[in-house]
Amino acid sequence: MTPRERLVTALDHREPDRVPFDLGTTFVTGITRRAYRSLLEALGEEQRADPPLFDPVQQLVVPDQDILDRLGVDTTALARYLPGRRPLNERADERYLMFDDAWGISWRMPRDGGLYYDMFRHPLAGKTLDDARNYPWPDPVRDFDRKKVRELARRLHETTDRALIAAGYGSGILELVLWLQGFDQGYMNLLADRQLTCYLLDRITDIKMAYAEVMLEAAGEYCQVFYGGDDVGHQTCPAIRPEMFRELLLPRYKRYHEFIKIKAPHIKIFFHTCGAVYPLLPLLIEAGIDILNPVQVNAAGMDDTARLKREFGRDLVFWGGIDTQHVMPHGTPEEVRAEVQRRLNDLAAGGGYVLNTVHNIQADVPGRNVLAMVEALHDFGAY
């Protein structure tokens, strides 16, 4: 099969020739600068220059396409060729590199040894509903070049055989509510200021829908997957109670996902959420998602991937599942191979599985373990 055929078959819950593989395609399935340098050294390509950054916040790179070809990656993305989370108002002091993003959130990274940017200023912290209504919200389509995006999507569809992923605008709906106010105020206002919370949820949903409309009108016919998500899980429990999820998030998710399906009925909705989301999976399915990423196997209730497949495999494609908290950074290549084999045994039968690490490959993951993961996929991932 071609990579595109392979992924489409798996997304339709049928078995392709082998399990598809993603690396470097989205903001949550990528590889950081230092990890990529280690991978190049493991491949004997250490003389190469560093590639450009895909996302400055997470220090993700745009991997060289010939390297992705050698690894057998089946996916590509419009975001590789379009501006990502663009730094605005870049500045620095003696300790930090800093910038503001399009939402007005400020980020900084230590000059010495920094691995990624952290938020340090939340523009709606301490603000009221009137402040939020008068806030300078981003215009997601102001600089969107429909003609350029359509031509890019058409060219990638016609000149490559890889599956193509389109991305939505900004981070998750709940995430942005928390990021704009700060986590303490954002979480408290889920209860203490429901009016402000609902305004923010709706305003963010509207912005994301405005972008999805122009993106899918321009490129939807050429894409197989639409990327999005919202982190609704912590390490040991969901980030929000199921009853509050149903009240606050489910209606907004449904509205957004149904809109995407109207614009591109064939497209599969990729939903990223880290954490212990097992109790929320029926609600996420009700919300209209097709793909669950990253399947954080170290979070509570998520390690039994055979149970996840058994209970939710008819409704969900699982995309991820290879442990990046322990096995990938600290395990031996043999332990990496065992991890890959286990997840393939649990998740691959009948299709509906795309192999990828749990979230991005971080700076402490040695290149030899990335190669061990890829080799194990090709050894054990054939149907």
Q: Tell me: the pLDDT tens digits for 220-244?
A: 999 999 999 999 999 999 999 999 9
Give the whole-angstrom CA distance, residue 300 versus residue 235: 6
What share of the chain in percent tops pLDDT 70? 99
Q: Please compute the mean of the pLDDT values over residues 330-353 and round it to a whole number.
A: 98
What is the model's pLDDT at position 90? 84
Helix (H) or strand (E) holding 380: helix 367-380
Taking only the tens place, the pLDDT of each residue in 78-124 is: 988 876 566 778 888 999 999 999 999 999 999 999 999 999 999 99
Domain-located, residue 154:
yes
Domain-located, residue 110:
no
Average pLDDT, the chain: 96
Domain-located, residue 306:
yes
DSSP state of 247: I
Q: Please compute the mean of the pLDDT values over residues 257-267 and round it to a whole number.
A: 97
Give the whole-angstrom CA distance, residue 107 versus residue 245: 28
What is the model's pLDDT at position 86? 66
* CB atoms inside a 10 Å sphere around CB 136: 8
Give the whole-angstrom CA distance, residue 117 versus residue 98: 8
Domain-located, residue 178:
yes
Domain-located, residue 91:
no
Structural domain range at position 214:
3-85+126-380
* Four-CA torsion 319, 325, 326, 327, nearest 10 degrees: 30
Domain-located, residue 21:
yes
What is the model's pLDDT at position 84? 57
What is the model's pLDDT at position 85? 60
Structure pTM?
A: 0.96
The verdict on whether omega for the bond into residue 294 sits within 30 degrees of 0, i.e. cis, is yes
What is the model's pLDDT at position 80? 83
Q: Please compute the mean of the pLDDT values over residues 258-268 and round it to a whole number.
A: 97
Domain-located, residue 12:
yes
What is the model's pLDDT at position 83? 65
Q: Please compute the mean of the pLDDT values over residues 303-313 and round it to a whole number.
A: 98
273: CATH: 3.20.20.210
Question: Total structural domains in the chain?
Answer: 1
Q: In what order do the strands lie in the sheet with 106-110?
A: 88-92, 96-100, 106-110, 118-121
Angle at 339 between CA 327 and CA 36, to 5 degrees: 55
What is the model's pLDDT at position 88? 78
What is the model's pLDDT at position 89? 81
Taking only the tens place, the pLDDT of each residue in 140-198 is: 999 899 999 999 999 999 999 999 999 999 999 999 999 999 999 999 999 999 999 99
Domain-located, residue 269:
yes
Taking only the tens place, the pLDDT of each residue in 57-90 is: 999 999 999 999 999 999 999 988 876 566 778 8
